[in-house]
Structure 1
Amino acid sequence: MSWLLGYMDPTEPSFVAAVITIVFNPLFWNVVARWEQRTRKLSRAFGSPHLACYSLGICILLLNILRSHWHASPTGLLLTVLVAIVYVVALLYEEPFTAEIYRQKATRLHKRS
């Protein structure tokens, strides 16, 4: 592990920016998705839930492009491990929320029929 630390400078602005974007991205879309599910403010702002969803998807895609704009190196490998850890945590946080959305939808469909 010490050989890896010799290849990177944790105070370098690009390294700090990479860590911030890696941690921020899944936190951002999970918080925004839950806020939209509770308030529907994005849907109202965009005039359509579909347009709000597509806009959020484009925003997430652009954030991922920003996050992924780093060269292959030992530092890149370390950041890849960080990405994997953050996304595993994000999935653990997101899964109950997603399951609840699908449960609510199934209940609504069942009541209609």
Structure 2
Amino acid sequence: MSYITASIDDLKYLYSNGSKFVDFSKPDIVFAIQSIAFNPIFWNIVARLEYKTHFLTKVAGGARNGCYLLALTIFSLGIFRDHVYFNALQNQPTYEPFLTNPVFQAIAIASFGFGNILVLTSMYALGVTGTYLGDYFGILMDDRVTGFPFNINDNPMYNGSTLCFLGTALWYGKPTGLVVTFIVHGFYKLALFFEEPFTAKIYAKREEARSKKQE
């Protein structure tokens, strides 16, 4: 039997018997999901407050310093979230085919590797202020970034992070991680629902101000 055929059979078995390999009764996985949900909610609320009140700008002594402070906070929360997620997975049921079938292991490596490429290259392309909501501080980019990875994906930071969750779940053979990956994707979609229109509004205001100056 080929590895691909075996993989399909393994997925069918998992689909039919998923409840044996997913356990949300443990507090650590619940806390992991809460941490995942908290992060995008946190940075959206804080960024909106900064835009309206400039409280971080005032606390940090400048818009750029305020953005760096928020960046450090978001980055630290992300590290903590990943740590909590990893520890929670260790206490979840293991699905052996994910560990023994080379197809699943290859997908795990590809997902985690490509996910990190998307995240790191998007951070490089945007810089610190572009990555960490600098536009809410009035630090706007001159032009829209269209190079890699934005030429192949509209939201490489969020999608790359989702792929990293997927790769981790497969690598350690934890079906619960697959469910968590869908939850991560859902919260990122929710974050974009609020972020994209508001960011567009910020840049539209700048263009409007520029037009008035030219008149």
Instruction: Give the alignment partner of residue 17 of structure 1, picking from 31, 41, 44.
Output: 31
Partner Cα separation in structure 2 for residue 24 and residue 64 of structure 1? 10
Instruction: Give the alignment partner of residue 205 of structure 2, picking from 63, 80, 104.
Output: 104
Q: CA deviation at 1:81?
A: 1.0
Instruction: Give the alignment partner of residue 75 of structure 1, picking from 176, 187, 190.
Output: 176
Higher relative CO (Cα under 8 Å, sequence separation at least 6) belongs to: 1
TM-score by length of 1: 0.88
TM-score by length of 2: 0.49
Residue in 1 that maps onto 2:78: 64
Report runs of 4+ in structure 1 exceeding 6 Å deviation: none
- Listed as ranges, the gaps of 5+ residues in structure 1 are none
Structure 2 counterparts to residues 87-102 of structure 1, below 5 A: 87-102=188-203
Residue in 2 that maps onto 1:52: 66
RMSD: 1.7
Q: CA deviation at 1:9?
A: 2.6
Partner Cα separation in structure 2 for residue 15 and residue 44 of structure 1? 37
Q: CA deviation at 1:109?
A: 3.3
Q: CA deviation at 1:52?
A: 0.7
Q: Which one is further off, 102-111 or 48-57?
A: 102-111
Aligned pairs, number: 113
Q: CA deviation at 1:49?
A: 0.5
Letter in 1 for 2:185: A
> Identity, % of aligned pairs?
41
Partner Cα separation in structure 1 for residue 73 and residue 197 of structure 2? 23
Instruction: Give the alignment partner of residue 86 of structure 1, picking from 177, 182, 187.
Output: 187
Letter in 2 for 1:23: A
Instruction: Give the alignment partner of residue 43 of structure 2, picking from 29, 42, 53.
Output: 29
Q: CA deviation at 1:2?
A: 6.2
